[in-house]
Each structure stands twice: as structure tokens, then as C-alpha cells.
């Protein structure tokens, strides 16, 4: 078997002072933070599609990277080589999880039957690799967006044959996810949305989408797949409007169609910002509704405004994300999946290591700092006091729902209502800075 990442040894923790860059400066997998190892807190995962399948093509240019393992013309040879490279990479990096779309593992063939046959061979190979390395599958999913048949949607298409094809793909993707002991299964809306309402029966499309998900839930029960189902919201791209716009919108959809007991959310940082939210907002909204399932750890570029899927090196953002995760009591059975790709000019294989190390270190730092902020109750104490007025008197009655408009009017009608306490935003931002720097 070829070695693809020659000259790269196991990536180790060397600590903050070291100048070695093929090493972790903050991520120390076995270090205990608040009773749990860093590795168990963070549950890092590598995204098969960005790291092993794609090669740096963008809208204006062809591939900038040429990965040795993708050079084969025979689809099976290519798929097996790609899997070998993937497991070598993940083992050297020390990441314990990965995620895939069905079509990342193997190229699509003439018929679904042929593709599935190839897929089975690759899955068998991957199974062996997983056993050998101890690396696990965080989640699987189906690619229902790349092939032109899905140009007008998969579960929300105008064409029943396409709907059937997408359903069959999900069926198979569930089977292989189960076969590989996947801990979750993700639905990202791909092309589920619309370009113009002039040609769209929105009601039918949404009903069909809900039926699609119900069928998946039923089939999972039938085959004994017990992983967590996740929805990954995104407001736009590739369609002008995606139906799973953000967490709140998708939660309304899940509730309307009685799917809320089966699904949680896979929240991606870059999708949050595309929706006009902060990453923390999406995490918070999911968390308070007990729906925080997993994370696609990346970041966008606010100056560009499209889905740039960059490695999450912004420590400030990661502190706030880890704050939500810790407050959630952790992220398992979800994890932090690097749904991120190296910039097109970072085309060498070694850049894949630098990029993941950067994301892992920045999240490890985020974890350490967020843990300290929570331990010291920096925000908790402040927030607690901020809402003191709801602990007694009329405030208590509001919270308990034992008052009414008449009583509230009586309460204030002759009262001089003073200004609420200062929000102290800058004071808090300064304290957070003191923890970070």
C-alpha cells in the first residue's frame, strides 16, 4: 500500500512555546478539562469531501491541487486509494471521526445498481480501515445536489422519478451509515429550495420534503439504525432560497410535520452568518430547545458573503461556540466536523495538515477559555442579576403566568418606572478579552 503523506509523522502535542508547526500547540487530546479529556469534549471529525475528494476547483478555475490518490482512472481503484489516503491522514493527525456523502466515497456510475455495487466494495474496505485504526464514523449523508438530475431539487423536485432516485439514494446511504456504525445521519437541504416562486408549488414541495424525512425515519427503524438524525440549515446557496433557512425556521418545519422528536440540528458556522445570524445565535437557539446535535466547524468571510467554508481559526468565535457546547453538557453523539477546505492557493498536501492543525488548536483554545469563563461564572452571575426583577413580586407572577394585562396596568399606572439597569456590553467584552488574551 502506498504512503501518501510521506515525511509526515504522527502529529503530536508540543505545547505553546514550540516553533514546530506540524504539531499541536493547544490541542492535547488526553488533557482533562472539567473532568473530561479534550478529545472527548471536541470529537473532531474530518470531512471526506473537502479533504480527499475535492481538489480546489472554484467557479472560475479548474483544480489547483492534484492528489495522488485521485489519479486512478478505474473508479474502484480510485475509491480504494482515496480511502487509504483518508485513513493515513486521519491517523497521522490523530482525529477519531470522519463524515462522508455517498458520492465522496465513489464516483457515480451509469445506474444506481452499479454505483451501489461499487459502494459496497468501498464500504467493506473502509470497515477494515476503521477497525484497524479505531477511527469512527460521525455521520453519513447522501449527495442529492451535485448531479444535474437534482438541479430542481431532490425531495422538493417537480419530477417524481427524481424524487424516487433521491429516496433510493437515502435508503442506501442509511444502510451504509448503519453498516459503518455511524453515530448520526445528516440531511443538508442541498438543492431543496427554489430559484423563483413563479414556477414553484411551495406547499407541495414542503409536504413532499416532510414525507421524505418520515420515510427515512421509518426505514431507519426497520433496519435498526439508531443514530441521531440531524438537519443542517442553510439559507441560500446553491438555491436562492433554501427551505431549511436557519434553526428557528427548520424547527417550525419539524414541529408542523411531527418530525421534531426524531431530529436535532447540525449547525454550521458559515451557514449561520449567511442567514444573518452569529454562529453563537444558532447554537443558542438550538441549545435552549434541546436540539443541539452536532457542528460543522468552519468560518466564513464576512467581506465575501458566500459559503467560503474556511478552517475555523478565529479563537474569539470558537470561545463563544465552546461556551454554548459546554452549557449544552457536551456535543456527543455529535462532534466538531471540519466542513472546511484549504484556500485554493494552499494546494499542497501538507496544507491539509496545517489547516486541520490550525482548526484543532483554535478550538482547543476555545474550549479551555470557555471552560474558565463558565467556571468563574463570569456571564452567569451577571445575567442572573440582570433579571432579578423577575424573581419576586410582579416579575415572579409574569414568569409563573399568574398575572394579566389588567393587573399589570394597575401595577404601573401611578408608578414612576425607572430605566432598566445598564446592559454593560463593553464591560463584559472587556472581561472576555481578559480571558482570551
Residues classed as catalytic: 101, 104
Shortest Å distance, C-beta 292 to Ca ion: 15
C-alpha cell at 423: 446592559
CA dihedral 350→353→354→357, nearest 10 degrees, is -170
Binding mask 78-117 for ligand XLS (x = CB under 6 A): -----------------------x----------------
Is 120 annotated for ligand binding?
no
Q: Which is nearer to Ca ion, 38 or 170 (CB)?
A: 170
Instruction: Give, as one character, the DSSP assignment of residue 35.
Output: T
Q: Which of 175, 192, 244, 296 binds ligand XLS (CB under 6 A)?
A: 296
Q: Which residues of 290-299 are buried (b: 16+ CB within 10 A; e: fewer)?
A: ebbbbbbbbb
Scan residues 191-220 and list those touching ligand XLS (CB under 6 A).
Answer: none
Residues 23, 11: contact at Cβ < 8 Å?
yes
User: What is the phi/psi pair of residue 242, to 5°?
Assistant: -100, 140
Q: Which of 102, 339, 349, 361 binds ligand XLS (CB under 6 A)?
A: 339
Q: Which is nearer to ligand XLS, 106 or 370 (CB)?
A: 106
Instruction: Find which of Ca ion, ligand XLS, none residue 141 binds, CB within 5 to 8 Å per kind.
Output: ligand XLS
| CA-closest candidate to residue 211, choices 257, 175, 165 | 257
Element housing 47 (H / E):
strand 44-47
Scan residues 138-167 and list those touching ligand XLS (CB under 6 A).
Answer: 141
> What residue ranges bind Ca ion (CB under 5 A)?
268, 270, 296, 307, 309, 339
Q: Burial, 134: exposed, middle or buried (Cβ in 10 Å; 0-12, 13-18, 19+)?
A: exposed
Beta strands in 280-333 (DSSP E): 292-296
By the rule CB under 6 A, 317 interacts with ligand XLS: no
CA distance 252 to 388: 31
Cβ neighbors of 54 (< 8 A, separation 6 or more) are 341
By the rule CB under 6 A, 175 interacts with ligand XLS: no
Q: Which of 244, 268, 324, 361 binds ligand XLS (CB under 6 A)?
A: 268
Q: Which of 84, 246, 307, 324 binds ligand XLS (CB under 6 A)?
A: 307
Is 68 annotated for ligand binding?
no
Q: Which is nearer to ligand XLS, 191 or 287 (CB)?
A: 191
Contact residues toward ligand XLS (CB under 6 A) are 101, 141, 186, 188, 232, 234, 268, 296, 307, 339
Could you list the residues known to form a binding site for Mg(2+), using ranges. Answer: 232, 268, 271, 296, 307, 309, 339
Amino acid at each position: 500500500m502506498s504512503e501518501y503523506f510521506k515525511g509526515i509523522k504522527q502529529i503530536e502535542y508540543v505545547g505553546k512555546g514550540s516553533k514546530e508547526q506540524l504539531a499541536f500547540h493547544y490541542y492535547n487530546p488526553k488533557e482533562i478539562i472539567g473532568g473530561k479529556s479534550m478529545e472527548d469534549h471536541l470529537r473532531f471529525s474530518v470531512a471526506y469531501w473537502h479533504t480527499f475528494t475535492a481538489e480546489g476547483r472554484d467557479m472560475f478555475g479548474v483544480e489547483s491541487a492534484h492528489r495522488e490518490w485521485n489519479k486512478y482512472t478505474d473508479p474502484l481503484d480510485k475509491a480504494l486509494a482515496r480511502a487509504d489516503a483518508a485513513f493515513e491522514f486521519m491517523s497521522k493527525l490523530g482525529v477519531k471521526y470522519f463524515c462522508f456523502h455517498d458520492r465522496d466515497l465513489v464516483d457515480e456510475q451509469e445506474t444506481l445498481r452499479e454505483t451501489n455495487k461499487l459502494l459496497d466494495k468501498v464500504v467493506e474496505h473502509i470497515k477494515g480501515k476503521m477497525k484497524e485504526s479505531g477511527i469512527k464514523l460521525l455521520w453519513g449523508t447522501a449527495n442529492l445536489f451535485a448531479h444535474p438530475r437534482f438541479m430542481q431539487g431532490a425531495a422538493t423536485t417537480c419530477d417524481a422519478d427524481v424524487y424516487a432516485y433521491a429516496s433510493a439514494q437515502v435508503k442506501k446511504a442509511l444502510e451504509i451509515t448503519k453498516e459503518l456504525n455511524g453515530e448520526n445521519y445528516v440531511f443538508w437541504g442541498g438543492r431543496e429550495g427554489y430559484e423563483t416562486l413563479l414556477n414553484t408549488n411551495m406547499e407541495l414541495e414542503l409536504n413532499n420534503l416532510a414525507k421524505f424525512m418520515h420515510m427515512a425515519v421509518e426505514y431507519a427503524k426497520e433496519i435498526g439504525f439508531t443514530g441521531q438524525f440531524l438537519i443542517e440549515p442553510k439559507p441560500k446557496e446553491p438555491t436562492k432560497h433554501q427551505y431549511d433557512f436557519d434553526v428557528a425556521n427548520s424547527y417550525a418545519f419539524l414541529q408542523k410535520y411531527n418530525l421534531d422528536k426524531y431530529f436535532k440540528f447540525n449547525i454550521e458556522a458559515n451557514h449561520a452568518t449567511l442567514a444573518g445570524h452569529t454562529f453563537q445565535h444558532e447554537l443558542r437557539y438550538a441549545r435552549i430547545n434541546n436540539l443541539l446535535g452536532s457542528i460543522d466547524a468552519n468560518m466564513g468571510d464576512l467581506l465575501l458573503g458566500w459559503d467560503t467554508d474556511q478552517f475555523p481559526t478565529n479563537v474569539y468565535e470558537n470561545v463563544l461556540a465552546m461556551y454554548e457546547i459546554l452549557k449544552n453538557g457536551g456535543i456527543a453523539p455529535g462532534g466538531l466536523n471540519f466542513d472546511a477546505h484549504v484556500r485554493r492557493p494552499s494546494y499542497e498536501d501538507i496544507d491539509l495538515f496545517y489547516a486541520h492543525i490550525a482548526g484543532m488548536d483554535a478550538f482547543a483554545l476555545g474550549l479551555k477559555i470557555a471552560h474558565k469563563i463558565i467556571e468563574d461564572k463570569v456571564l452567569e452571575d451577571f445575567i442572573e442579576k440582570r433579571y432579578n426583577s423577575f424573581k419576586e413580586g410582579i416579575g415572579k407572577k409574569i414568569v409563573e403566568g399568574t398575572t394579566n394585562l389588567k393587573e399589570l396596568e394597575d401595577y404601573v399606572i401611578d408608578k414612576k418606572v425607572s430605566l432598566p439597569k445598564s446592559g454593560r456590553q463593553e464591560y463584559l467584552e472587556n472581561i472576555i478579552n481578559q480571558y482570551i488574551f
